[in-house]
């Protein structure tokens, strides 16, 4: 189930609920984000990095992490949602980074603003939402200085929270929900789960490298993990009427509720499992 509409997404996905979910993603999966941005920093070693571009920045998890990794660099954070950019600016102020983080509101399925030249571009869980990701990669290539670096992060396995035995007389509720949501998105987001290496190369970048980050978090989880699971599963639930059996929907309604021992806010058997893959490449 996908949950990161950043650069271009329907209005139903916008608003405080989505912004909260993105903030929770950065909070709960902070170790992954730290590892991923550390790898970008390592790959960029020896290159001058003065300007960093975050394409489809959401509430700024990547933009802020990179601003902290690359001290002194300017970060240009681009998203279609003005509300998310406002939240990013507030977070940047809280961290003392507001003098180095610039936000640009733009629909990247339309004409791109002038963003270059940049030394590093980061785009996380965003390109697959665009109508033409190939065009986006060409735009990024054009904005990148020779010797500059691109890093594309995408989820390459379902994000999972629940034990496999959950399901009213029929284990595997989460897997059935995942399959139904994937089917819902298949017509509108054909690049969801794609191998981005060939697309990056097709845009003109060279030296494409790939690294998978496996995420396995178990008890004891922070309290925010329950809120993260609830927000994510509530978003999924919006796509599932008519796609799952009534018993599955009833069980899911209990899981995403605020009250009761069955709510993910109170369960002690949650775990967070995911794989996020990072592709890096260079403009020669």
Q: Which of 51, 121, 40, 57 is nearest to 91 (CA)?
A: 57
CA–CA separation, 250 and 230 (whole Å): 15
In a domain, 234, yes or no: no
Mean pLDDT value across the chain: 93
In a domain, 20, yes or no: yes
How many domains in the chain?
1
- pLDDT tens per residue across span 226-270: 999 999 999 999 999 999 999 999 999 999 999 999 999 999 999
In a domain, 267, yes or no: no
Tokens found for residue 186: 């298949």
Q: Does 9 score more than 60 pLDDT? A: no
In a domain, 260, yes or no: no
In a domain, 34, yes or no: yes
- Residue ranges making up the domain that contains 142: 11-159+190-218+274-282
**Which class for 164: exposed (0-12), middle (13-18), buried (19 or more C-beta within 10 A)?**
exposed
Which residues on neighbouring strands pair with residue 79, listed in sequence order? 105
Q: Report helix angle 246-255 to 173-185, nearest 10.
A: 100
- Which CATH number covers residue 20? 3.40.50.150
In a domain, 64, yes or no: yes
In a domain, 259, yes or no: no
> Full-prediction pTM beyond 0.85?
yes
- pLDDT tens per residue across span 35-54: 999 999 999 999 999 999 99
In a domain, 206, yes or no: yes
CA–CA separation, 47 and 126 (whole Å): 25
């Amino acid at each position: 189930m996908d949950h990161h509409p950043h650069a271009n997404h329907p209005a139903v996905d916008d608003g405080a609920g989505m912004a909260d979910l993105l903030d929770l993603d950065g909070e709960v999966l902070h170790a992954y984000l730290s590892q991923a941005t550390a790898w970008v920093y390592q790959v960029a070693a020896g290159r001058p990095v003065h300007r960093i571009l975050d394409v489809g920045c959401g509430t700024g998890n990547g933009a802020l992490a990179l601003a902290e990794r690359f001290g002194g660099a300017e970060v240009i954070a681009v998203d279609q949602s003005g509300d998310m950019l406002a939240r990013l600016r507030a977070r940047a102020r809280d961290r003392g980074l507001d003098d180095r983080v610039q936000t640009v509101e733009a629909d990247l399925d339309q004409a791109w603003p002038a963003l270059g030249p940049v030394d590093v571009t980061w785009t996380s869980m965003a390109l697959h939402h665009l109508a033409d990701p190939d065009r986006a990669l060409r735009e990024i290539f054009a904005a990148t200085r020779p010797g500059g670096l691109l890093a594309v992060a995408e989820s390459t396995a379902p994000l999972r929270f629940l034990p496999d035995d959950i399901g009213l007389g029929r284990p595997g509720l989460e897997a059935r929900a995942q399959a139904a949501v994937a089917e819902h998105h298949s017509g509108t987001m054909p690049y969801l789960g794609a191998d981005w290496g060939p697309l990056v190369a097709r845009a003109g970048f060279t030296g494409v490298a790939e690294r998978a980050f496996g995420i396995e978090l178990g008890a004891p989880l922070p309290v925010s993990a329950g809120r993260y699971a609830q927000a994510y599963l509530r978003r999924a639930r919006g796509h599932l009427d008519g796609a799952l059996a009534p018993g599955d929907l009833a069980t899911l309604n209990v899981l995403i509720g605020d009250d009761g021992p069955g709510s993910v806010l109170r369960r002690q058997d949650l775990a967070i499992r995911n794989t996020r893959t990072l592709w890096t490449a260079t403009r020669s």
